[in-house]
């Protein structure tokens, strides 16, 4: 979906209004959304990579994960915050995220991530994660 600059302003405002309707959302997640919506965007509505700097929101870094899609079958973990490393029980930076998703859910997880790449979209997810040491988070 390509958005004109006028439509992009409407899109951003619509996103803010929809987010305000959500209840029970962690304030840190809302802070990320506000940061994301503040970034300059290309004509397709996607923030420019050169303008996205996670260090501009340092309070979010411990719980931050950034994936890089190198081809349409691999989700490279480019950045993993220290809190997530602690929860997972290991640092998976540099690894294929899909290796840590149960085999029966891998295609579904990949498909969801590709939607984010193909459209100006984001995903707010609550996940229960079982680490390799058996801990649930």
Asked whether residue 57 carries a pLDDT value surpassing 60, the answer given is yes
**Structure tokens of 52?**
């996205």
For the four alpha carbons of 65, 70, 74 and 76, in that order, the dihedral sign comes to negative
Residue-wise pLDDT tens digits, 68-94: 888 889 999 999 999 999 988 899 999
Report the distance separating Cα 54 and Cα 6, nearest Å: 27
* pTM check: above 0.85: no
Predicted confidence band of residue 4 (pLDDT cuts 50, 70, 90):
very low
Res. 96: pLDDT tops 60: yes
Q: Quick check: helix, strand or coil at residue 130?
A: strand
Given a cut of 70, whether residue 119 has pLDDT beyond it is: yes
If you average pLDDT over every residue of the chain, what do you get? 79
Instruction: Record the tokens describing residue 127, joined without a space.
Output: 């996940």
* pLDDT at 25 exceeding the cut of 90: no
Q: Is residue 2's pLDDT more than 50?
A: no
């Amino acid at each position: 979906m390509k958005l004109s600059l006028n439509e992009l302003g409407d899109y951003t405002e619509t996103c803010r209004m929809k987010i305000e309707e959500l209840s029970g959302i962690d304030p840190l997640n809302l802070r990320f959304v506000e940061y994301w919506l503040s970034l300059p965007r290309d004509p397709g509505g996607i923030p420019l990579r050169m303008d996205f700097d996670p260090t501009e929101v340092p309070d979010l870094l411990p719980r931050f994960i950034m994936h890089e899609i190198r081809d349409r079958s691999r989700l490279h973990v480019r950045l993993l915050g220290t809190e997530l490393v602690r929860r997972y029980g290991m640092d998976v930076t540099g690894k294929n995220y899909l290796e840590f998703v149960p085999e029966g859910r891998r295609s579904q997880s990949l498909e969801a991530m590709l939607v984010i790449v193909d459209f100006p979209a984001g995903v707010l997810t609550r996940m229960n994660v079982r680490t390799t040491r058996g801990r649930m988070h």
